[in-house]
Amino acid sequence: MGQEHPLNSSKESSSKESANLLFEVQSLIDSYSKGRYSFPTYLNFNMYILQQAKFSADSEKPCELLVDGTQKSLLKMRLLEFEDSDIPSIKGYLVLSFKDKTKLAIPLNCANCLVLKELFKVQGCNLDRIYSRKSSLAVDWIKSNVDTVYNSEASRRDKVDEFYDAEHLKINNEIRRILAKEPALKSINIIDGGCGNGKYINAAASTFNETDVHLAGFDFNESNIEQAQSKYSDKGTFIKGDLLKFQEVLDQCAHVLDKNAPTFMVLSGSLTRLVLTDGFQALKVLQGFANSDFADYLVGCGVGEPLINRHIAKQIGYRMEPSATTASELFSCKKMTQEELIEQKLKKLEQYNTLDLSLYHNPTALLLNQQLLKHLADDSNIDLSFTTLTPELINRIQLIIKEKPKVKLIFWHNKMDQLQEFYDLFPEENIKSLYYARDEHFLGTSRWFNSAFEPYLSDLSGHFVSSKFSDFYIKNLLLNSKNERSVLHNLIHLSNVFGLGNWVFNNTNVLKHIKNEKFHNTSAQKRNELVNSAVKEINSSNFELVIHILESLNLINSITEPELYYLLNASKQDQYQSRIYSSDLICKTISATKNREDRVIESLKFYTRDFEDAYRNLINLVKNISLDTPNEVHNSLEELVFWVIKNWSNFEDVEHLIKILEEFKLIDPQKDLVIYYMLAFFKQNPDRRTGISSEASLHNEKGRLIEALKFYDERHHDTYLQVVTMLVGSQWQKEFDFLAIQGQHQRLIRELSHSYYPEFKIMELLPYLNADSHIVFSYNWASNSLEIQRKSDLWDVNARAEVDVKLQRLGFTDTAIADIINPFQFSDGTSDSLFIPLKEEQVQLLLADLDKVKTRPEKNILESAFYQPLIALPSDEFDDEEQSTVVNRVPTFFGSPQKSSLYDDNGMDDYARLGVTREQAHSLLIQNIQDIQEHLTPLINEKLLDKQFLEYLNTKQLSPQNSPLDNLTSQANQFASAPEIIQGYIDYEIHDRKSKTAVIEPMLFEILQDLINKTPKLG
């Protein structure tokens, strides 16, 4: 087989790495949290840059990414890694530049940043460290000479000398490379700006033997100049001078320079933050070079990263040489000719309709250039950022505006007074962008910082500016925001942070102008997105302001978003401040909603009778929403009911909400058993409302069913059983098993396991929870048997279930288990144990079982015969009549007229509600015993599980004597239909029951109600 070509292998590897990077980027786009991100300007950071050619598998095809549902072509990626962030969750940003001129800034945590940095490096990114010392203080080089600074640590001096020796060699090699391209040059000038003690001049003097070299160096530290003169006066001329006053330097050393030779400005460490305060000082230095006749080339390096990059060099009139791959290692620039400069400006003017004169030292000269003016359109932009407003420039601009009234001006500057002056000089309608700039805005290519991040809105604080300028400045910032969402969030942020809420309220005309400029053609979908994003910013201090902003921008009104106005009014009611509807809670709740549908339903949590009509209107909105998403709305409403039961202080309000939901047919008494059971339970047990779990566990039906089953009341036993049936019918029985074993529902446990034992064992988890275990299992070495000891006083169904499960795990058959268990009884007050002989393989199983963590045996609870008559689920196997029969097997108390008894108490007992005495009720049932026999049999079947009832039957000599319980219950159906047993049940429930409570079993209550209605004398 032929070997794969290395080039093909390399391409495949590169393609795979690109795919990994783009996959990571797309994942970040999909998962990042949208917000208002301003860049922390005080932080040092490194910037890693990847052009499209380096991350695209096919350089001819654009790289497509999905952003907010739209495919976008990616042109460039920048990774900004903070060196020392005080925000743990943000280690940097990934800034994506797209073909449609939009940018996306994604915040990164430490892990994301580390992964991306490695992927960037694999793809061969460029590193720009121009921002890495932004917070560093420059050394006071006037007071401190080179020796003082570098000798502060002995080891540091060696490293610095070693670094600069290597960098001086690189600089000289670069100059030699340039000279090799122009062999006609026989003479050159080299000026060392910030020469220190003259080491570079000494090195350069012996490097260029074939060329006539004129060497000069300057430094503003006298001690440095004295050292240089004493050591190397024979190699060059050294003078005291300042980089910021370059023309004065030239005047002093012009006599040693060749006016006809090109001049190389060497900047080895001087164009950095260790010497200059910031990038703006560096700009002034570079503008001084560009404005002179003695700075044809700029070559340099530095311990601190030089404050120059390709963008800056191009704007001041230099072209970065190709050999300079990264400015942090070495920069090399050549001044453009006038023709090259004009060509560059024309290209941008034609492409972007912008005459970009920013950073240029003499913009007036370019505004007089006829070739540029010829291509300047009536509506072109003129960018004058970071230029000096000379009288000549001002006059020239005013003339252009007169000739072209629609021309727009851009002016960014680092001095607020210059911005104020610019605003005062030119008409507002001609100013497109006015911005107080920082270091990164000046240094960043095409001002990508401001197109990627939100602007700072506190720039006016601490500056004395006119109110007219202030209003225009804020309006201009808002209008120049990236998109409608940015405008909206900047407005909210403006008043939030800096207390300018009054400005927003008072400047109606500004908001109207912003609406007309930015929101005049907003689609319904976009409007919803904007409102949803604004709602997330609501808090108790800005709620009214946010509503005002949304209303002013024509994004909401009281007809389309009544829930917002309802909640605003509710939050302003002082009477609620001490209740659950506090303004803070309302704002927290609404800001957490995902969409309008969610918001409307959440607003129902805050009911007040003062706004009854508005509240009912919200419920009507929910009904309309339910037409589109009935399941989702019903789920949310059920969750809402749980919330209000737990949180509303007035339970009458809870009942009122239920009745309104019924009225609008959003809930149904026959279907929403969980809601009505919870209502009934907490009506009678209000002190237990705090036991309802937090919202997190109530977001789905299963969670709410399980929550409801935590609260058992024997008075509503049948309904509770229906809720169990719902849980089991959804195959969530394991969760119920876990609840049951906590011992809160002992009667229910007996009913579900006792009569149908051993076929159905809801207690099969019990043996694996030591705290609730009734039985202690151990291995008896002497007799080679399983020893079972009781922990409880009675050999009850729970203990039997535990033994049954244990024996099943050891391989005993059901018949063998019955033979072992049925004859055995633990005696009260004794320490009897049960010994079960084991085979060898059973011994091994037992030992392993006792040692390991127990897990629940796999058993489908739906296979139990007990549940077959209870599970009333729709089925294709039944016709309507049969289905109705199945449903009727389930107790239907809440489907009856008597459901009101659950929440209409008024202190009346069940007999008083029926309008009869206990004796009358007993007599009525006995008289109609044959008619009601069919209805009573299921009740008696259940009652046969009750130990007290069985004892009652024994005392009445109505049950077989000495009959094991299992034999009795296995004949339950036949036994329950016997006339004497039916009469015994009626006597027990109505007449002879020891507990004299006035509560009637729900189904018996219903039977009595029906008999009363049919009996004229009683009805």
Hey, what are 86's tokens? 């005080």
Question: How high is the mean pLDDT of the chain?
Answer: 77
Mean pLDDT, residues 3-22 taken together:
62
Which of 910, 991, 978 is closest to 944 using CA atoms?
A: 978
Coil, helix or strand at residue 522: coil
Phi first, then psi, for residue 879 (nearest 5°) are: -85, 180
Which of 419, 385, 380 is closest to 401 using CA atoms?
A: 380
Q: Which residues pair with 164 in a beta bridge?
A: none
Whether the per-residue pLDDT at 37 is higher than 50: the answer is: yes
Q: pLDDT tens for residues 712-731?
A: 777 887 787 777 777 766 66
Whether the per-residue pLDDT at 457 is higher than 80: the answer is: no
Coil, helix or strand at residue 75: strand
Q: What is the DSSP secondary-structure string of 854-908?
A: P-PPP--GGGSGGGTTT-----TTS-HHHHHHHHHTS--GGGSGGGGGGT--TT-
pTM above 0.75, yes or no: no
- Domain 164-336 architecture: 3-Layer(aba) Sandwich (3.40)
End-to-end CA distance of the chain: 101
Q: What percent of the chain has pLDDT over 90?
A: 26
Which of 178, 236, 186 is closest to 210 using CA atoms?
A: 186
Distances (CA, A) of 987 to 157, 429, 775, 956: 107, 96, 37, 11
Please classify residue 680 by burial: count the beta carbons closer than 10 Å to its beta carbon, then call 0-12 exposed, 13-18 middle and 19+ buried: buried
Which of 313, 319, 189 is closest to 261 using CA atoms?
A: 189
Mean pLDDT, residues 817-844 taken together:
67
Task: Give the pLDDT band of residue 780 (cuts 50, 70, 90).
Answer: confident
Mean pLDDT, residues 220-242 taken together:
92
Helix (H) or strand (E) holding 604: none
Phi first, then psi, for residue 71 (nearest 5°) are: -75, 130
Q: pLDDT tens for residues 583-594?
A: 888 999 999 898
pLDDT value for 101: 77
Q: Tell how far CA 642 is from the center of its chain.
A: 26
Whether the per-residue pLDDT at 206 is higher than 60: the answer is: yes
Q: What is the DSSP secondary-structure string of 737-753?
A: HHHHTTTS-HHHHHHHH
Whether the per-residue pLDDT at 284 is higher than 90: the answer is: yes
Whether the per-residue pLDDT at 1016 is higher than 50: the answer is: yes
Please classify residue 554 by burial: count the beta carbons closer than 10 Å to its beta carbon, then call 0-12 exposed, 13-18 middle and 19+ buried: middle
Spatial separation of the C-alpha atoms in residues 462 and 466, rounded to whole Å:
13
Of 85-94, 308-317, 620-629, 747-756, the poorest mean pLDDT is in 747-756
**Helices assigned H by DSSP within 182-261:** 199-205, 222-232, 246-253
Hey, what are 894's tokens? 């809440």
Angle at 924 between CA 920 and CA 927, to 5 degrees: 135
| Contact (CB, 8 A) for 982 and 940 | yes
| Contact (CB, 8 A) for 356 and 346 | no
Task: Give the pLDDT band of residue 520 (cuts 50, 70, 90).
Answer: confident
Helix axis angle for 947-955 and 979-986, nearest 10°, is 110
Strands 212-219, 45-51: pairing is unpaired
Whether the per-residue pLDDT at 81 is higher than 70: the answer is: yes
Hey, what are 210's tokens? 């074939």
| Contact (CB, 8 A) for 119 and 80 | no
Highest-confidence segment of 481-495, 599-613, 995-1009? 599-613
Q: pLDDT tens for residues 967-994?
A: 444 455 667 778 888 888 888 888 776 4
pLDDT value for 827: 46
Whether the per-residue pLDDT at 903 is higher than 60: the answer is: no
The order of strands in the sheet holding 318-320 is 237-240, 212-219, 187-193, 263-268, 297-301, 331-335, 318-320
Strands 318-320, 297-301: pairing is unpaired
Spatial separation of the C-alpha atoms in residues 201 and 192, rounded to whole Å:
7
| Contact (CB, 8 A) for 794 and 828 | yes
Helix (DSSP H) and strand (DSSP E) numbers for the chain: 46, 20
Strands 212-219, 237-240: pairing is parallel
Q: Residue 299 contacts by C-beta under 8 Å, 6 or more apart in sequence?
A: 171, 174, 175, 264, 265, 266, 267, 330, 331, 332, 333
| Contact (CB, 8 A) for 680 and 893 | no
Coil, helix or strand at residue 301: strand
Q: What is the largest CA-CA distance in the chain?
A: 136
